[in-house]
């Protein structure tokens, strides 16, 4: 396997995936580089039975978690009062900075596999076919999991809006 070709082919995918998980672009870039260093060291252990992108994403995810543990990064406890308009379209909620922050905070605490499927679809811009492949499941499973994650976010935003209106 030509590692340089692997790097060129998958750097952007791995970076976008890590960007969806991390707090900053700089952090995502640093972890992406570290991911490829680890992949280079372990390329001989890759047997080709799985998709190389899935293998790289697994290394990236584990590297990200190790990085967070090392830096003692945790989610904040308090939430801002303004949750935005849950009636707006899903994409519009990401435009507004405060609502986006609330959604990211909710995503940070979301259970797996919903969190990862949502991140891969929205931030990693992967099609359902590839998401299903990463999990060893069908594209239909990926669609349903993404829909359920989206529904959890809607319900959370509606609850925050209700709380805001009660004040």
pLDDT digits (tens, 9 = 90+) for 65-87: 888 777 765 433 333 343 444 44
Q: What residue ranges define each of the domains in the chain, with the CATH number in brackets? A: 3-71 (1.10.1740.10), 90-166 (1.10.10.10)
CB contact set of 75 (below 8 Å; sequence gap of 6+): 105, 108, 109
Mean pLDDT for the chain overall:
78
User: pLDDT-derived band of residue 141, with 50, 70 and 90 as boundaries?
Assistant: very high
Which of these, 69, 52, 25, lies nearest to 33 by C-alpha position? 25
pLDDT in tens, 19-62: 887 767 888 888 889 988 898 888 878 777 777 888 888 888 88
Number of CB atoms found within 10 A of residue 31's CB: 25
The first and second tokens of residue 52, run together, are: 């190389």
Tell me which of 95 and 57 has the higher pLDDT.
57
The structure's pTM equals: 0.47
| Res 64 pLDDT > 70 | yes
């Amino acid at each position: 396997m030509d590692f340089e070709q692997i790097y060129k082919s998958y750097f952007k995918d791995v970076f976008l995936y890590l960007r969806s998980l991390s707090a900053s672009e700089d952090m995502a870039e640093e972890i992406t580089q570290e991911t490829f260093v680890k992949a280079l060291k372990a390329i001989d252990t890759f047997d080709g039975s799985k998709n190389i992108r899935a293998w790289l994403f697994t290394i990236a995810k584990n590297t990200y978690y190790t990085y967070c543990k090392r830096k003692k990064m945790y989610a904040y406890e308090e939430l801002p009062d303004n949750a935005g308009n849950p009636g707006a379209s899903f994409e519009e909620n990401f435009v507004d900075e405060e609502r986006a922050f609330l959604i990211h905070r909710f995503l940070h605490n979301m259970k797996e596999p919903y969190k990862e499927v949502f991140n891969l679809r929205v931030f990693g811009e992967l099609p359902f076919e590839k998401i299903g492949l990463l999990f060893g499941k069908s594209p239909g499973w990926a669609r349903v999991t993404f829909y359920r994650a989206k529904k959890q976010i809607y319900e959370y935003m509606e609850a925050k809006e209700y709380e805001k209106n009660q004040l």
